[in-house]
Amino acid sequence: MSARSDIAPSTLGVELHDYGVEVEYIDNRTTVYRGVPEAVTGTLATAPGKEVHVLVTDPTETEGVMMYVNDLKSHDDVLESSGVGRVILGEGEEEELFPGVLVRRVPGHRFEIEADPAVARGRVFVFVEDDWAEHSYEFVAE
């Protein structure tokens, strides 16, 4: 199987804690994105070469869908068994991941994410990480 296919996401369990956001995959594994997400409005621009994960919760904040952006490490079967989706974008391409959530790839292996939580009808989190650091963001209304 290709490690570079677009994958549709499944619904995942979500728990919001004072120490971070916990995601339960469909295979019952969990992960915690640590830290209180920084509030952002408008456009979030990532640093080059970072892993980008976008999570949109439902209005109850107990379920959500997650997309990895340009993840080239995870094989299709791993993502499918976990319920995480993936989108692969070439430079200059953009895609609406979910209603109200747009991601575009800009020069220098960077991404720009825009989100309107009212249109998304839930909370919109973006997790940006690499081997040395992880940052959490939440889009809020302006």
**Per-residue pLDDT tens digits for 33-72:** 999 999 999 999 999 989 999 999 999 999 999 999 999 8
In a domain, 4, yes or no: no
Query: Into how many domains does the chain fold?
Result: 1
**What pLDDT score was predicted for residue 138?**
97
Average pLDDT over the chain reads 94
CATH no. for residue 111?
2.60.40
pTM of the full structure: 0.94
In a domain, 3, yes or no: no
Contacts of 31 (CB under 8 A, 6+ apart): 22, 23, 25
Q: Which residue has the tokens 């809020």?
A: 140
Give the confidence band of 1 by pLDDT, cuts at 50, 70, 90.
very low
In a domain, 92, yes or no: yes
In a domain, 2, yes or no: no
In a domain, 1, yes or no: no
In a domain, 43, yes or no: yes
In a domain, 70, yes or no: yes
Condensed to tens digits (0 to 9), the pLDDT of residues 100-135 reads 999 999 999 899 999 999 999 999 999 999 989 999
Give the confidence band of 142 by pLDDT, cuts at 50, 70, 90.
confident
**Radius of gyration (C-alpha) of the chain in whole angstroms:** 14
In a domain, 135, yes or no: yes
Residue span of the structural domain in which 98 resides: 11-139
Name the phi and psi angles at 123, rounded to 5: -85, 145
